[in-house]
Every structure is written in C-alpha cells, then in structure tokens.
C-alpha cells in the first residue's frame, strides 16, 4: 500500500514531475520507422504528456518537434516536408529537425525573429524497425542496441497495440507479478494444468539493466531436473521475453515497450525476432508492422490472447490504480521490489545522478544480449549471435 502522494510520485510522467524526469533519461520508441513514407511523412505523436510531430524529410532524415506552431499555434501535423525540415500549413514558417526556424515567408528577409524562434525539438534514432526519441537533458545517452533490436540473423517484425487506458506502471508491475500467471493466463497458456496452484521458486535478481526474473519449476517426479525460465525486466519500462510459435514451432524473442503516452494512457510496441539460418534483417532496416487490437469490433476484450488478458487486467485497475487502498500479499514481493527500485532511481535523478541502465560506452553497445532461458520451450542456453 502507498500513500496517495507516493502513488503520484511513482506514476506521473509529465515534464518536471519526479517520475517524468526519470523516464526522460531513457530513449523511448515513438513509431515503426516504416510508418513514415514519402506519401505520408508526418505523424502526430503524444509521449510523456507532450504533443509532438514526427516527420521524415525528403532526404530521409527524421525529426520530432512540438506540435503547435510558435507563430499562431496551428498544428504542424498538417504541414509539409522538404529536404530541410517541416513547414507549418498556415503561414509557411519552416523548422529544421533541430527546431531552428529556417523561413518566415511573410516577414522581411532580415527579420531578427528568424534566429530567435526555435521550436522544442528532440533527437530521433532508428533501430530494429522503430524510431526512438530522447526527451531528456544533455548529454544524450546511446540508444541501447538490445539483442532483439540489433540481431541480424533472422526476421523481425512489430505489433503496435491499440493505446491502453491506464498508467504505464500497471503494465510494469505485471511483469514482476508471477502469481497472475496461474489465474489470468491459466485458461489459455501451458499453465492451464496448474490453475490456481501458485508455485514457489520465483526469484527477482537486480542486475545492471533492471531485474532478472527466474522461475524454477520443481521436478514433476523424482530424478527429473527442475525447469528454469528466466528473462529480464529492462528498467524502467520494457519486458524482454521469449515464446514458441504455435504456427511453426520457432523460438520467438520479443521486447515489449510500455511507452507512457500520458498519466492515464500507455502505448505498447512489441518487437519480435525469430532466429533463422536463411533470413537476414539489418538493425537499421524498416520491418513489417501491424496493428494489434486488444478489443474486437463490439468493444470486447479478445481474451483468448495472452497479451490481451494482461491489458484487460491493467485497464480494469483504473486510469491510475489507487494504491492507497490495495493490500499486497507475500506473493507480491516482485511488485514491492520494482516499486522500491523505481523510487530509488527517481531519487537518484533528483540528486543529479545517472539512473540504472543508461548506456554510454560504444564498445558495450555494439550488441547487448541477455541471458534468456526457457527450458519448457527448448531454450536451455541463451541465444547469442555476432553482429555481421
């Protein structure tokens, strides 16, 4: 249980809030790179409570600037791009990706306003088929080259979930909440056999990028070995997971980014990577992407899907779950640990320190692979793959 103030402290995402300042230390995905095309080079995006416009100029460079034009506030989302930047649809002011105003067509050539006007703008980088943005202070850290984003020997694709009506922390607490597996997913998953039988053997091991989760399932009969399943929560807002395809039996690694849109909305991007002896996908390539709807046409949750079962639980907890009236039990020790970590890291940023998992060393960032194991689906040692 938290006080109302503690709950706000952990969940707010806006600029200047404690949690919002922590989140701004990390690169966040904003869209699949393949979504911006020559025909449709502009997309309005909302992230961390800020309304922005993402664009691709005609040279292929990306920019992310505040949505409202600094002249008289029209939306740049309806603007036009050229080889230098984006132009407002109303009176034609033009902005570079740096935010610098480049043209004010109706003003005298030598107007001093031109130098002075600078639209808020953020750096954008592309990796693993996603465009990532950094909304924090300088110096800008490296965009982490996590395995699922940077691996090349296989194929990659992205699901873009419908925006969820809940705060991002609800999604992250779910990733350190093992007792829900046996109920929420018990009807569809391999755990059906054990519905309701919460088993001991869940560990949460803090490591340099977050929390490594390890489940050890006891042997079913004497002489059998215990079965290990381990994968990390990448602090603050990503889950690294693995599953086996029902269609072709292949191992599918994934990264689930739970991106805060604002205090009460969350956008989930799931990047999949399926290793393959024959296929190649460069880390800088656009990849296929598709919408993933958590509700059907009647507005009902598609509860036969594991990811929807989770989304249903997060949304029904409320826009921001009221943690002042909850009751944590002993099986919630992972949730308690995650909250402690979040609180500590927010406090670290407030003191001017660097939070957990920021990458600044290019050597380390060549490829960051994780020790993901899932013996149940036949993944008994972590997969590794040199970058070609």
Applying CB under 5 A, the residues found at the interface with Fe ion are 310
For ligand FES, which stretch binds (CB under 6 A), given 71-79, 219-227, 295-303, 348-356?
71-79
Buried b / exposed e along 34-50 (16+ C-beta atoms within 10 A): ebbeeeebbbebbbbbb
3-state secondary structure at position 36: coil
Q: How far is the CB of 116 from ligand FES (least distance, A)?
A: 15
Q: How far apart are CA 45 and CA 263, in angstroms?
A: 15
Q: How far is the CB of 136 from ligand FES (least distance, A)?
A: 27
Stretch binding ligand FES (CB under 6 A), from 69-77, 116-124, 283-291, 302-310? 69-77
Interface region with ligand FES, contact rule CB under 6 A, candidates 91-99, 268-276, 336-344, 365-373: 91-99
**Least Å from the CB of residue 30 to ligand FES:** 22
For ligand FES, how many residues bind (rule: CB under 6 A)? 9
Closest CA to 305 of 258, 243, 230, 262: 243
- CB neighbours of 221 closer than 8 A, spacing ≥ 6? none
Provide the token pair at 157: 């694709």
Residue with Cβ nearer ligand FES (95 or 182): 95
Q: How far is the CB of 269 from ligand FES (least distance, A)?
A: 31
The answer to whether 93 contacts ligand FES (rule: CB under 6 A) is yes
Q: What is the CA radius of gyration of the chain?
A: 22
Q: Residue 310: name its binding partner from ligand FES, Fe ion, none (Cβ under 5 to 8 Å by kind).
A: Fe ion
What six digits make up the tokens of 71? 């002249």
User: Pick from ligand FES, Fe ion, none: which does 293 bind, CB < 5 to 8 A by kind?
Assistant: none
Which lies closer to ligand FES via its Cβ, residue 90 or residue 183? 90
Tell me the C-alpha distance between 285 and 113, whole Å. 39
In this chain, which stretch among 90-98, 146-154, 252-260, 363-371 interacts with ligand FES, using CB under 6 A?
90-98
Report d(CA 180, CA 360) in Å as an integer: 36
Alpha-helical runs (H) found in the chain: 4-11, 18-23, 113-116, 147-150, 168-174, 306-316, 333-350
Q: 63 forms bridges with which residues in the sheet? A: 55
- d(CA 107, CA 114) in angstroms, rounded, equals 9
Q: Which option in Fe ion, ligand FES, none does residue 228 bind, with CB closer than 5 to 8 A by kind?
A: none
User: Token digits for 206?
Assistant: 């803090």
Residue 71 binds which entry of Fe ion, ligand FES, none, with Cβ cut-offs from 5 to 8 Å by kind? ligand FES
Please report the DSSP string for 198-266 in residue order.
Answer: --S-EEEEEETTEEEEEEEEPPSSTTPPPEEEEEEEETTTEEEEEEE-TTT--EEEEEEEEEEEETTEE
Q: Which of 23, 47, 53, 69 is close enough to bind ligand FES by CB under 6 A?
A: 69
Selected binder of ligand FES within 91, 153, 302, 376 (CB under 6 A): 91
Find the shortest distance in angstroms from Cβ 41 to Fe ion.
Answer: 37
CB of 91 to ligand FES, least distance (A): 3
| CB-based contact 301:152 (threshold 8 Å) | no
**For residues 53 and 311, which CB has a smaller minimum distance to ligand FES in the complex?**
53
**Nearest by Cα to 305 from 318, 290, 294, 319:** 294
C-beta closer to Fe ion: residue 263 or 310: 310
72 lies in the binding site for ligand FES (CB under 6 A): yes
Q: Rounded to the nearest whole angstrom, what is the least distance from the CB of residue 75 to ligand FES in the complex?
A: 9
Please tell me the distance from the alpha carbon of residue 349 to that of residue 215, in angstroms, as a whole number: 32
88 near ligand FES (CB under 6 A): yes
Q: Which is nearer to ligand FES, 108 or 139 (CB)?
A: 108
Of 127 and 212, the one with the shorter C-beta distance to Fe ion is 212
3-class SS at 300? coil
Q: How far is the CB of 80 from ligand FES (least distance, A)?
A: 12
Min. distance of Cβ 122 from ligand FES in angstroms? Answer: 19
| Binding stretches for ligand FES (CB under 6 A) | 69, 71-72, 74, 88, 90-93
């Amino acid at each position: 249980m938290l006080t109302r103030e503690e709950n706000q402290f952990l969940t707010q995402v806006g600029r200047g809030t404690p949690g919002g300042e922590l989140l701004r230390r990390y690169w966040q995905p904003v869209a699949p790179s393949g979504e911006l095309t020559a025909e449709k080079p502009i997309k309005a995006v909302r992230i961390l409570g800020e309304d922005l416009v993402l664009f691709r100029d005609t040279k292929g460079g990306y920019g992310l600037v505040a949505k409202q034009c600094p002249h008289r506030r029209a939306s740049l989302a309806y603007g036009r791009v050229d080889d230098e930047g984006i132009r407002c649809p109303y009176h034609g002011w033009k902005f570079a990706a740096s935010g610098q105003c480049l043209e004010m067509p109706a003003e005298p050539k030598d107007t001093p306003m031109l130098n002075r006007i600078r639209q808020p703008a953020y750096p954008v980088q592309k990796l693993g088929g996603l465009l990532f943005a950094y909304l924090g202070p300088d110096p800008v850290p490296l965009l982490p080259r996590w395995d699922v984003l940077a691996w090349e020997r296989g194929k990659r694709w992205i699901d873009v979930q419908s925006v969820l009506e809940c705060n991002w922390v609800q999604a992250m607490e779910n990733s350190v909440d093992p007792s829900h597996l046996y109920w929420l997913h018990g009807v569809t998953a391999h755990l059906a056999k054990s519905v309701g039988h919460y088993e001991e053997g869940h560990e949460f091991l803090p490591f340099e990028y977050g929390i490594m989760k390890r489940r050890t399932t006891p042997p079913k009969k004497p002489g059998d070995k215990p079965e290990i399943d381990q994968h990390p929560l990448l602090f603050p807002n990503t889950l690294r997971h693995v599953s086996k395809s029902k269609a072709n039996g292949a191992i599918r690694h994934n990264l689930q980014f739970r991106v805060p849109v604002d205090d009460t909305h969350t956008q989930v991007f799931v990047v999949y990577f399926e290793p393959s002896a024959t296929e190649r996908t460069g880390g800088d390539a656009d990849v296929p992407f598709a919408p993933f709807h958590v509700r059907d046409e009647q507005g009902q949750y598609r509860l036969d899907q594991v990811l929807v079962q989770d989304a249903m639980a997060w949304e029904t907890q409320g826009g921001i779950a009221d943690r002042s009236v909850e009751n944590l039990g002993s099986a919630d020790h992972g949730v308690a640990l995650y909250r402690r970590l979040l609180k500590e890291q927010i406090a670290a940023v407030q003191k001017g320190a660097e939070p957990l998992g920021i990458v600044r060393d290019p050597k380390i960032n060549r490829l960051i692979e994780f020790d993901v194991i899932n013996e149940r689906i036949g993944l008994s040692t972590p997969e590794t793959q040199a970058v070609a």
